[in-house]
Structure 1
């Protein structure tokens, strides 16, 4: 069981994508682009953009 937890922890720390996109890239572009531009750029819905922005403000 402990081995599984370690593998899961490693996967969590090595993955940097959300919705199949680079989360850090989203953070950089979020500073200058509108929500519509972000949705178009990353191929996600406006609702998902709103949720990601909301998550960023909590971090």
Structure 2
């Protein structure tokens, strides 16, 4: 079976934009977008993309 680097990354980690999805879901309930961005060290646009991604799944 062939393994690609992209496939290994998708199975080895649950991080998107370097953010642990489970931590993000817990903190998004109580924190504002600005607080989330500063907490995880990402931009406001990435926070918006993560929230949109969570609503799709």
TM-score when scaled to structure 1?
A: 0.78
- May I ask how many residue pairs the two structures share in their alignment? 56
1:34-45 matched pairs, under 5 angstroms: 34-45=32-43
Query: Which aligned runs of 4 or more in structure 1 are off by greater than 6 angstroms?
Result: none
Gaps of 5+ in 1: none
The structure with the greater share of residues assigned to helix is: 1
CA RMSD of aligned residues (A): 1.8
TM-score when scaled to structure 2?
A: 0.81
Larger radius of gyration: 1
Gaps of 5+ in 2: none
